[in-house]
Structure 1
Amino acid sequence: MRKAVFFDIDGTLLDCLNGIDKITPRVEKAIRRLIANGDYVFIATGRPFAFLDDELLNFGFDGFVYTNGSYVEVNKNNIYKQAMDKESLKKIINNFERLNVEYILQGEKYSYTRAEYKKLHAFYDEFDISKKYILNDYNIDDIDVYKVEMVCDDEKGIQYCLSLEDENYNYIYDKDIKHLELYSKNNSKASGILKVLEFLDIPIENSYAFGDGKNDIEMLETVGCGIAMGNAGDFVKGFAKEVTDTVQNDGVAVGIERFILS
């Protein structure tokens, strides 16, 4: 029976802020072994399409769970999507602008932000995010949005962003870099993975996932074998079946060799 293996990007396959901005040779070799065995390999990420470089898009993955599960592709075909509620989003955006919160709206192919958001653009430059699919000229009424990311160093703005977690929204907040992500509670990497498994008719016990962050918790506890990175926090590790080495020490390759190929 074929297996399906899902990989988070940041802190798992890559660590852009600490010098790993490409899949390392050992990790690539291990993933290529899965492909050679006939197994499926997928990206499961909080990123939208616009934030993936050509190397990841052309690597040979069988599909992508984008924006924390709100947009899912298998073999370049969309099998699921659910945009954020537009009227609710408009109210949030109005408050962002009133409180000087810089934001980017993440769509299917393009993401949308304002040219004058210098802090936000500088933040994504650190991750080598291309501007190829980022547009500054848009009308909110004409686009579908699947996730929002924010950069803010004003305390009132941050507190407003943190207040948005309710029955509809989850957030991730990295206080060290003053970066936040806002996404729908209706979707998660886990729900996206389940849609992939159903589409491919793969039993859940034949599924694996690698991750390190808060938005990986649900997928780590949902798949047949959730594998936390060594650089994950203890809280995240508590939801995994196994723990591998750190991203700096090719933890994905170590996990594939130890828990899947063995």
Structure 2
Amino acid sequence: MKKVIFFDIDGTLIDCTRGITEITKGVEKSIRELQAQGNYIFIATGRPYAFISEELLKFGFDGFVFTNGAQVVVREELIYKQAIKKDVVKEIINNFEKFNIEYILEGEKYSYMKSEFEELYEYYDSFGISSKYIKSDYNINDINIYKMEMLCKSKEAEEYCLSLQENGFDCNHNISSNIFEVYSSMETKASGIMQVLNHLNIPIENSYAFGDGINDVEMLEVVGCGIAMGNASLEVKSHAKKVTDDVARDGITVGIEKFIN
């Protein structure tokens, strides 16, 4: 029976904050061997398509779970999507403007950010995210939005972003950068993974996932074998069935050899 393995990006396949900007040769070899055995390899990420590097897009993955499960692609076919309601997006944007919050709206292929949001552009530049698929000229009525990220510069702005959790959203906060991300609480990497398994008719016990962050918890719990990276927090590790080595020590390779092969 074929297996399906899901990989988070940041802190798992790569770690830009520590200078690991590409998949290492050792990890690539391990993944290629899994594919050669007939298994399926997927990315499961909070990122939208616009934030995925050309290297990852061209790597040869069998599909992607984007924007924390709100979009699912299998072999280049979009099999599932669930956008945030337009009237809700408009209301939130109005409040972003009120609190002087810089924001990006994450769509299917493109993401959308006003040209004057210089600090937010600089933030994404620091992670090597290209502006190729970021549009500054857009009409909110013409686009579908699956996730939002924001830069909050005041306590009031932070409080507003966190308050969205009371209205059907999940909200993650990177304290060091004051970046928030907001997405529907109905969509998670776990729900996206279930879409993939159902589409491919693969039983849950034949599924695996590697992750390190809070937004990986649901997927580590839902798959047959959730594997936390060595650099994950103790909280994340507590939701995994197995723990592998640090991303800086090819933790994916170690995990594949120990828990999958």
Give the TM-score taking structure 2 as reference length. Answer: 0.99
Partner Cα distance (2:257, 2:17) in 1: 26
Return the offset for 1:153: 2.5
1:28 maps onto 2:33 in alignment: no
Does the residue aligned with 1:166 lie in a helix, a strand or coil?
helix
Partner Cα distance (1:84, 1:7) in 2: 25
The match for 1:260 is: 260
Aligned-residue CA RMSD (Å): 0.7
Partner Cα distance (1:241, 1:172) in 2: 23
Return the offset for 1:167: 4.8
1:164 maps onto 2:170 in alignment: no
The match for 2:190 is: 190
Which residue identity does 2:32 align to in structure 1? R
Deviation by residue 1:177-204 (Cα, 9 ceiling, x = unmatched)? 1111100011100000001000000000
Residues 5-84 of structure 1 aligned to structure 2 (within 5 Å): 5-84=5-84
Residues 191-206 of structure 1 aligned to structure 2 (within 5 Å): 191-206=191-206
- Ranges in structure 1 where 5+ consecutive residues have no aligned partner: none
Which residue identity does 2:220 align to in structure 1? L
Partner Cα distance (2:137, 2:80) in 1: 27
The match for 1:94 is: 94
The match for 1:230 is: 230
Does the residue aligned with 2:12 lie in a helix, a strand or coil?
coil
- Ranges in structure 2 where 5+ consecutive residues have no aligned partner: none
Return the offset for 1:176: 1.0
Partner Cα distance (2:233, 2:159) in 1: 24
Does the residue aligned with 1:165 lie in a helix, a strand or coil?
helix
Partner Cα distance (2:16, 2:148) in 1: 20
Partner Cα distance (2:41, 2:166) in 1: 33
Moved over 3 A (4+): none
Does the residue aligned with 2:259 lie in a helix, a strand or coil?
helix
